[in-house]
Structures are given as structure tokens and as C-alpha cells.
Structure 1
Amino acid sequence: MTKLSVNVNKIATLRNSRGGDTPNLLKVATDIQDFGAEGITIHPRPDERHIRYQDAYDLKPIVYTEYNIEGNPIPKFVELVKEVKPTQVTLVPDAVDAITSNAGWDTIEHKDFLREVISEFKKNDIRTSVFVDPVEKMIEGAKETGADRIELYTETFASEYAKGNKDAVLPYATCAMLAVDLGIGVNAGHDLSLDNIKFFKENIPGLLEVSIGHALISESLYLGLENVVNMYLHRLK
């Protein structure tokens, strides 16, 4: 079964909008796990507009499933991850002013940089994942960095699937098979939803984990958080 890791950035965004502590991020993260999710994901950004760096520390004793911290490995982020020691760190090449992640790494151009950062995390016994587009040479490049896993950037799939183009999953399937052959684990995330997650899971060999935030929280406004978490789990079986 593919694991579901819920990104709680949107909970922090809602909290921050009023300057208080409602909704309480730690309570929501606890509840999400109690509802059956196998992981919690956060993606702190330098401006702390949703997840704050302090949240990463506060969540550490709360997350009893897998803890995944995503982000661009700038020095402050690297130090945060080394201190918190999550289960997994996912490296994402976000620009400082990015609204959301919009591209994977060029693992060939940035191979030396990624290799250095990944080596540092591995010294701290933290599993590493690299955010990549579904391009075979980028998967091969990820292997050269020493990453334990890749996370396939799925926005293009989600957009095309919504238009009825199911063939959009094919490059993802090809890259997943290549990763498995190379001995790299396969994660995926971005714009996956209740509408497309079952089809995606059924067509991606070796899919270990999906990280879902925006769609899951949005769907929960209508259907309820506990219900939606379990709907995802059912589709991922």
C-alpha cells in the first residue's frame, strides 16, 4: 500500500491569517494521524508565510508516523533539518518568492551541490528525496546524487488528466520503472486529488508515498477531514 503523507501547510496558512493559534497545527496533525494517515509533511519557506520554522520543532514530538520536511536546501533550511531530524527530507528547488513548487531539479546541472547536501543529511540518518520532473535523464541524475528516493512532480499529470488525457501518466510510469531499476524509491506529489489519485497509483510501479496538501484540505471543507483522509487511504490500497 502506498503511504499517504498529509501536507499541513494550508492549516498553518489559515492559522496565520488571524495571528492566533486557530486552527491549532499540532492538534490537526495529531488528528490526521489518528484518522489513519501514515505521515505528516511540511514545507517551510523563508518568509514563513504558512509553516514557521518553529513549527518544525514543535511538530517533532507530535508526529508519530513519518515526518517529511520539504524545502530548498538553503543554509537555514539545512540546519533546521539537521536539528529536527525528520524521517525524510525532500529537496525542492523553490525560488524564494515561489507561491508553490513549480519545477523539479536539474539533477545533472546541480549534481555536485545535491550530492554535498544529501551527504550531509545522510550523516544524520535522514532519508533523502529529490523533487524531479518525469524525465528519464533526471532520474538517472538523481541516482548520481546519492538520493534515497525521488518525488515525481505531478502537476502536469493532474492538469492533463482533468482534460481527459490519461496518457499523461505514461512518462511518470516510465520514470518510476527506471527509478525502481536503479534502486531508488518513488514518491509523488503536487495537485494529486481524490479525482486522480486512484488512477495514478494504479499506473505507477513501486509508488511508496504520496504527499498531498492543498487538494486534501480543500476537499475536507465539504467532506470532512477524517472522511477525506480515509477516502485517500481507500484509493491507495
Structure 2
Amino acid sequence: MTKLSVNINKVATLRNARGGNNPDVIKVAQDCERFGAQGITVHPRPDERHIRYQDVMDLQKVVTTEFNIEGNPNGRFLELVKKIKPTQVTLVPDAEDVLTSDTGWDTIKYEVFLTETIAELKSYGMRTSIFINPAKDLITGAAKVGADRIEFYTGPYAEQYSKDCEQAIEAYVECAKLANSLGLGINAGHDLDLTNLQYLKHQIPALKEVSIGHALICDALYYGLENTIQMYLRELQ
């Protein structure tokens, strides 16, 4: 079974645009779980333009499914996750000024840094995942640095899907086979939606988790949050 983790960053973006607490990020997270989501994902960035560090602290008290915290493992981020001890920490190599995540780790170039960081996180009992592009040498590198899982950066897959779905998925399938052989769990995230999600799941049956935020929240404007979560869950069956 592939779990659906709902990224609620966009809910916080909407709240922050007006100030106050509407929509209530904490309540939305609880509702997502109540509507069937098997996880909640947040990605706090240094400028706190959507999820704030205090949000993460508050969510830790109420999330009852898997709590996944994504981010660039700088000092402040590492201190946060060591306090929270979420189910999973997903390491993402975001520059501070990036609009959204747009590439994965070079696990070869940053081997020493990732090895040390992952060892520290695992000593606190947290599952670790590395945001990564579908390249075999990088997958091998992810196993070498001690990651529990990889999270495929699926932006390129989503962009190419409508043009040639077989070509769009090819590298991901090959890298998934390698990851399986190396004992790595497989997650995926970025630009996944109701159009391309089912094909990804069928082609990578070992997929453990998808993290979806932007498209799911956009769909909820039309279909409602509860119905939208159920629609995404059906795509993963």
C-alpha cells in the first residue's frame, strides 16, 4: 500500500497572505487525517513564508499519523527536528531563495555531509529520506550515506507525462529497481496530481509514500478537501 501524505504548506501560505489564523493550519491537518490521509508533510523554509517553525511545534502535538518534515538540514532545521522527532525527516537541498524544490541531492559530492547528518538524525530514532533525481549513481550514493529511503523528485516526470508517459517514467522505474536491490524504501513527490499519480504507482508498485500538496489543495477548491483526499487515495489503490 502506498501512503498519502498531505503537504499543508499551501494552507499556511493562504493564512499568511491575510494574517490571523484563517485557515487554521492545525485544524486542516487534523481534518486531512480524519478524511483518510496517512501522513502530514510540512516544509519549513528559513523565511517562514508558509509553514512557520511554531506551526511545526504545534503540529507535533496533534498529528497522529506519520509526520514528515522536509527541509535543508541547516543548523536551525536540525535543531527543530531533534526537538520534534517526527516519523520521517526528508532532506532537501533547497537554496534559501528558491521558490520551490527543483532538484535532488548530489549524494556523491555531499557524501560526507549527508553521512554525518543522517547518522545524527537516526541516533534520535528518526527515519531518513533523501530528495533525489532518478540517476543510478545518486541512488547508489543514497544507500552509501545510510539513508532509509529516497524521495524521487518527480517534477520532470510530471512535466513530460502528457507528452510521452513511457519515456517520462523510464528512468524512475530503473532507479526504483536499483533502490529496491539496495534496501532503500521509495517515496515520491513534486507536481504529482490526479492525472499522473496512478500511472506512477502502477509502474513503481514498491512505492511506499507520496507527498502531495500544491495540486491537492488546488483540487480541494473545486471538489472539497474530504472528497479530494478520497480521490487521491483511489488513485493509489
Q: Which one-letter code corresponds to 2:119 in the other structure? A: S
Q: CA RMSD in A?
A: 0.7
Percent identical: 59
Partner of 1:54: 54
Q: Is 1:17 aligned with 2:22? A: no
Shift of 1:162: 2.4
Preserved CA contact (<8 Å) 1:15 1:23 = yes
Preserved CA contact (<8 Å) 1:160 1:166 = no
Unaligned runs of 5+ in 2: none
| Alpha-carbon distance in 2 for matches of 1:104, 1:112 | 16
Q: Is 1:121 aligned with 2:121? A: yes
Q: Which one-letter code corresponds to 2:118 in the other structure? A: I
| Alpha-carbon distance in 1 for matches of 2:143, 2:205 | 18
Shift of 1:30: 0.2
| Alpha-carbon distance in 2 for matches of 1:121, 1:209 | 20
Match of 1:113, SS state, is helix
Partner of 1:141: 141
Partner of 1:181: 181
| Alpha-carbon distance in 1 for matches of 2:77, 2:217 | 25
Preserved CA contact (<8 Å) 1:177 1:205 = no
Partner of 1:199: 199
Match of 1:46, SS state, is coil
| Alpha-carbon distance in 1 for matches of 2:204, 2:179 | 11
TM-score by length of 1: 0.99
Match of 1:17, SS state, is helix
| Alpha-carbon distance in 2 for matches of 1:205, 1:230 | 20
| Alpha-carbon distance in 2 for matches of 1:193, 1:80 | 30
Match of 1:45, SS state, is coil
Alignment of 1:1-237 (within 5 A): 1-237=1-237
Equivalences, count: 237
| Alpha-carbon distance in 1 for matches of 2:162, 2:19 | 36
Unaligned runs of 5+ in 1: none
| Alpha-carbon distance in 1 for matches of 2:218, 2:164 | 22
Preserved CA contact (<8 Å) 1:177 1:206 = no
Shift of 1:61: 1.5
Match of 2:140, SS state, is helix
| Alpha-carbon distance in 2 for matches of 1:210, 1:127 | 15
